[in-house]
Amino acid sequence: MIYRNSKPTALTLIPVLLLGLAFVTASTSSFAVEDLRIKEFYKMSPSIKQVSQICPWRSSTTKGTIRLMKIEDKGAHRLYVQWLREGIAGTEQAPLSTISIEEINNDHYYRFELPDGRLMAGACSIETIMEDIVDESRYRLTLYLMGPGEYEVHTTRLIDGGIKLHKKHE
């Protein structure tokens, strides 16, 4: 205890100094962690438009979450699926498999909203309407996502909508 007109001794200041040092050290390390997270965001491609974790998945040896990623490329959207493996002993999730949905991404120019997933027996189902940016025709995409890297895709052309492209007769 410090009394009036008494000089503080070194022993009474030590706990105060240690508390201050602990606070500075803790806040410095949290700033360092935050700086690393921010640096990771700068590495992200600006073409990534949306990321959504949609369904859990499970295999005989591990489990995790399915994540959808919508990328914009030349005005069209591209769809990628990533299976994240659950972390071990409190570690973060890690990507196990990442694939491009080739039936949408190759040779087509669609735009679509990233759908929510619906968990089914043995698969995660997603469904969305896609619009071709060339002729405005519309398609229904149904995608069944199974284990890491496995999927089944169904596209159905919808009757209404679209611009009819006519060839000139010479």
In this prediction, residue 44 carries a pLDDT of 74
Same domain? For 58 and 110 the reply is: yes
Kindly report the pTM of this predicted structure. Answer: 0.70
In this prediction, residue 156 carries a pLDDT of 93
Q: Are 73 and 86 in contact (CB under 8 A)?
A: no
In this prediction, residue 30 carries a pLDDT of 57
In this prediction, residue 101 carries a pLDDT of 94
Same domain? For 150 and 80 the reply is: yes
Domain range for 120: 48-157
| Burial 122-142, CB ≥16 within 10 A → b, else e | ebbbbebebbbeeeebbbebe
User: How many domains does the chain contain in total?
Assistant: 2
Same domain? For 137 and 77 the reply is: yes
DSSP for residue 2: P
Residue 4 lies in a domain: no
Give the range among 6-20, 84-98, 151-165 with minimum mean pLDDT: 6-20
**pLDDT tens sequence across 19-72:** 454 444 444 455 666 677 777 777 778 888 889 999 999 888 889 999 999 999
